[in-house]
Amino acid sequence: MSAYGRMHRKEDARFIRGRGTYTDDVNLPGMLHGAVLRSPHAHAAIVSIDTSAAEAHPKVKAVITGETLAGLRLAWMPTLSGDTQAVLATDKVRFQGQEVAFVVAEDRYAARDALELIDVEYEPLPAVVDARRALDEDAPVIRDDLDGKADNHIFDWQAGDKAATDAIFERAQVTVAQDMLYPRVHPAPLETCGAVADFDRVTGKLTVWCPTQAPHAHRTLYAMVAGIPEHKIRVISPDIGGGFGNKVGIYPGYVCAIVGSIVTGRPVKWMEDRSENLMSTSFARDYHMHGEIAATRDGRIQAIRVKVLADHGAFNGTAQPTKYPAGFFHVFTGSYDLAAAHCEVTGVYTNKAPGGVAYACSFRVTEAVYLVERLVDVLAVELDMDPAELRMRNLLKPGQFPYTSPTGWEYDSGDYPRTLRLALDMAGYDKLRAEQADRRAAGGPLMGIGISFFTEAVGAGPRKHMDILGLGMADGAELRVHPTGKAVLRVSCQSQGQGHETTFAQIVAQELGMSPGDVEVVHGDTDQTPFGLGTYGSRSTPVSGAATAMVARKVRERARVVASAMLEASPEDLEWAEGRWAVRGDPATGKSMAEIALAAHSGLELPEGVEGHLDAVCVYNPPNLTYPFGAYVCVVDVDPGTGQVKVRRFVAVDDCGVRINPMIVEGQIHGGLADGVGMALMQLMAFDEEGNHLGASFMDYLLPTAVECPSWELGETVTPSPHHPIGAKGVGESATVGSPAAVVNAVVDALRPYGVRHADMPLTPANVWLTIQGRPFRTDLAIP
């Protein structure tokens, strides 16, 4: 019997009863509370900071400024991409909402009140808000803290073969070009970020509770930043109320809480409010893209050429290795069989929040998929060809896998045409096109049909691809089967809602012939779990999940030796059948894991050199990424009078290889599709020309609800990953990556009678209405 399959999530027993433990639920004896003073300006010199009135507040225990931190050499901290970020500003502020001072007080209210008592004199400076102006001669220099920095340029990076690509473009029968913006958005998890720091002056041990997706990486970075030895740091990531990439990085508030605890000798809690989360923590996207496609007149795509201007905000905090500053944008060639491709990405500083870490994105795969899928639709219009037919003609064929892309990435497995065909069949594509034609002929209501086909790249990461901080990208797993046959698995990744306590138990159960209910999954505590880089880029199943399967197989092999002693047979004569070790050809002799475990712990005489007990440790180095993929079809109705878009239907066929728990996989896809609809239709972090943040609350930063979402129609194909021990690929970000293009393609398709070829996200009613009037606008700047 398979342990894979639909089963309710074990963790839901506590979540639905309100019995989860989140960071804000951690309350320690004598705990103090911190609050952050933030900059009202996007760019301003700090003339002076007077903290005396705040310090005189009867409940205030400490006021920490950049100067205090400079004394501890903590005013600046390294970012994940080799830049530095101010923990608390000393010289000047560089984005609205930047951290300027930290107050520690007896309670949360007093800490907030005392912020008002801090007197900061600012000298406002002109701000750079528009990335396209960032490299102008006369643009104010944002990072004058960097030695000799005289402009806002961060990096130039390119991939692919420029000469070969240009040559194809020169003699191409058809070329199309399109500018497009993937606007700045924010993951906006329900639980904001925060930390409880407890530094024990006697033992020298620092314990930090914070909702981090990567507890071990945080511990290592705290050790590097604060100079506290790593074995004296314990990071506990309790239950997390959603991460979506927002909780990968380290924020200044975390460091402040730690320093607050060190200087006061008491535990310090700091929790952001909603506006702080939206204004200062990692944004995502902000890619200004120019894409071109070269093709033959009969619709054979030959090459893609791309130029990107990447807005990284005031500090380059993108969780992307310096070697690949545009992350996984490499996969901009999408799911198609191209002869050549080339992209150039230029990164710039602007007076906006740093980060760019992530939002269910696989580190720029989202932007890449959006770009190529929009371009293919633009080409379809140019060729007057059906976009489904155009895709079918160019998709990679099953026989081409493993496939090396023009930028050198090896897609592990796929049957793309089958997946697209299934999505089209489920949607009733031909009927939909007929309905659309009828409506157009009758001048009836606008409807559009949008397709996207995506290839994701998840499971960071193989050494051949990545080089982050020299840490390596392998993840550990430890498994112990106790005498009564119940097991405890310890893994380095951390769940923010993905259900690891269930699916990882299912993996162990499947390998050992146990019930998932008999496997406890421990994660999120660096003192209790092996090292690994955590949960992001949908890497848990590809990496930690693989480690889990491998460690279980090690235990199974140990169990074979124990069983052989029990059965007085040689290990080679045993076979694993139906979850038991049995003498080959004699299933009745089978010993279950529980029987074997009891024997292994009870002095059974084992062969020379074989230790007792049933446990094992494994470190898994992934040989490659996994490449899940999918085909999405979106149907929209658009009201030309109001510009309102209604998503009528959404068909999503995902292939993530073997599914451990199809119910959880579908839940992941539902969430990602909602995200995609939100980004396509409403989510936007806009700024005015002074750099004022125009999306600092849920009144202005709109999230999708059930009202905007149709009843999702899901389908699946299963193409196992050939290199993953259980054939699984990651899926956590697939739908967010793949769906925005389907929605935008559908809306643009609906507007085709108006001659519209492209419109930037978000497709708000105002944006759609103005686009129909032939007056599209810059969605990254203030909304008209």
Which residues would be at the binding site for ligand CUN (CB under 6 A)? 213, 243-245, 248, 358-363, 536-537, 733
* Least distance to ligand CUN, CB of residue 132, Å: 25
**How far is it, in rounded angstroms, from Cα 779 to Cα 667?**
31
Q: Which is nearer to ligand MCN, 451 or 653 (CB)?
A: 653
User: Which residues, in sequence order, are CB contacts of 625 under 8 Å at separation 6+?
Assistant: 409, 412, 457, 458, 459, 460, 461, 462, 465, 542
The nearer residue to ligand CUN, 272 or 749, going by C-beta atoms, is 272
Strand partners, 78: 84
Q: Which tokens is 359 given?
A: 């939002």
Contact partner at residue 363 from ligand MCN, ligand CUN, none, CB < 5 to 8 Å by partner kind: ligand CUN
Least CB distance to ligand CUN at residue 361 (A): 4
Binding at 81: pick from ligand MCN, ligand CUN, none (beta carbon under 5-8 Å per type): none
CA-based R_g, the chain, Å: 27
**Least distance in Å: CB of 319 to ligand CUN?**
8
Angle between helix axes 416-427 and 429-442 (nearest 10 degrees) is 50
Among ligand MCN, ligand CUN, none, residue 559 binds (CB under 5-8 Å by kind): none
User: Angle 500-512/546-567 helices, nearest 10 degrees?
Assistant: 30
Q: What is the largest CA-CA distance in the chain?
A: 85
- What are the two backbone dihedrals, phi and then psi, of residue 208, each rounded to the nearest 5 degrees? -125, 120
User: How many Cβ atoms sit within 10 Å of the Cβ of residue 84?
Assistant: 16
Nearer to ligand MCN, 720 or 765 (CB): 720
Strand-pair partners of 488: 480, 520
Whether the Cβ atoms of residue 324 and residue 287 lie closer than 8 Å to each other:
no
Q: Which of 643/730 has CB closer to ligand MCN?
A: 730
Both tokens of 113, joined, read 């009140």
CB-wise, 197 or 533, nearer to ligand CUN? 533
Calpha distance 545→541 (Å, rounded)? 4
Q: Which is nearer to ligand CUN, 111 or 737 (CB)?
A: 737
Pick from ligand MCN, ligand CUN, none: which does 728 bind, CB < 5 to 8 A by kind? ligand MCN
Q: Which is nearer to ligand MCN, 286 or 456 (CB)?
A: 456
What minimum distance in Å lies between the beta carbon of 374 and ligand CUN? Answer: 20
Tell me, rounded to whole angstroms, the distance of Cα 647 from its chain centroid.
Answer: 25
Instruction: Give the count of alpha carbons within 13 A of 327, CB side only.
Output: 32
Question: Quick one: 755 exposed, middle or buried, by C-beta within 10 A (0-12, 13-18, 19+)?
Answer: exposed
CB of 249 to ligand CUN, least distance (A): 10
- Which of 216, 178, 137 lies closest to 304 in space, CA to CA? 178
What is the DSSP annotation of 541-607?
A: IIIIIHHHHHHHHHHHHHHHHHHHHHHTS-GGGEEEETTEEEETTEEEEEE-HHHHHHHHTTT----
**Smallest distance from ligand MCN to CB 494, Å:** 9
CB of 157 to ligand MCN, least distance (A): 23
Work out how close the CB of 13 gets to ligand MCN at its nearest, in angstroms, rounded to a whole number: 16
CB of 474 to ligand MCN, least distance (A): 15
Helix 593-600 vs helix 546-567: crossing angle, to nearest 10? 70
Classify the C-alpha dihedral 249-254-258-263 as positive or negative: positive
Considering CB distances under 5 to 8 angstroms, the limit depending on partner class, which of ligand MCN, ligand CUN, none binds residue 660?
ligand MCN
Q: Judged by CB, which is closer to ligand CUN: 361, or 728?
A: 361
Nearer to ligand MCN, 357 or 696 (CB): 357
**Token pair for residue 584?**
């080959």
Question: Under the rule (CB under 6 A), what is the footprint of ligand MCN?
Answer: 189, 242-245, 360, 496-500, 503, 535-541, 545, 656-661, 664-665, 668, 671, 728-733
Least distance (Å) from ligand CUN to the CB of residue 364?
9
Q: Give whichever of 236 and 665 is closer to ligand MCN, judged by the CB atom.
A: 665
Return the number of the residue (43 or 216) whose C-beta is nearest ligand CUN.
216
> Is 590 or 678 the residue whose CB approaches ligand CUN more closely?
678
Bridge partner residues of 14 (DSSP): none
93: nearest Cα among 354, 283, 319: 354
Burial string for 428-452 (b: 16+ CB within 10 Å, else e) reads: ebeebeeebeebeeeeeebbbbbbb
| In the complex, minimum distance from the CB of residue 412 to ligand MCN, in angstroms, rounded to a whole number | 13
Q: Which is nearer to ligand CUN, 243 or 579 (CB)?
A: 243
Of 713, 695, 712, 691, the C-alpha closest to 703 is 695
- Quick one: 415 or 749, whose CB is closer to ligand MCN? 415
Instruction: Choose from ligand MCN, ligand CUN, none: what does 248 bind? Cβ within 5-8 Å by kind.
Output: ligand CUN
Strand partners, 36: 102
Strands 60-65 vs 410-411: parallel, antiparallel or unpaired: unpaired
Residue number with the smallest Cβ distance to ligand CUN:
245
Instruction: Map residue 294 onto helix, strand or coil.
Output: strand
Helix H, strand E, coil C: the string for 470-497 is CCCCCEEEEEEECCCCCEEEEECCCCCC
CB 359 to ligand MCN: min, Å: 7
> CB of 672: closest distance to ligand MCN in angstroms?
7
Q: Which of 601, 488, 493, 598 is nearest to 551 (CA)?
A: 488
CB nearer ligand CUN, residue 363 or residue 687: 363
Residue 726: what residue type?
Answer: I
* Structure token pair of residue 82: 């080799």
Provide the CB-side half-sphere exposure for 647 (13 A, CA). 32
Residue 535 Cβ vs ligand MCN, minimum distance, rounded to whole Å? 4
CA distance readout (Å), 753 to 341, 384, 436, 750: 32, 13, 11, 7
Q: How far is the CB of 75 from ligand CUN (least distance, A)?
A: 28
The site partner of 730 among ligand CUN, ligand MCN, none (C-beta below 5 to 8 Å per kind) is ligand MCN
- Residue 390 touches which member of ligand CUN, ligand MCN, none, C-beta under 5-8 Å by kind: none
Task: Tell me how far, at minimum, the Cβ of 734 lies from ligand MCN, in Å.
Answer: 8
Strands (E), 161-298: 174-182, 194-200, 205-209, 233-236, 268-271, 287-295
- Measured from the CB of residue 252, what is the shortest distance to ligand CUN in angstroms? 20
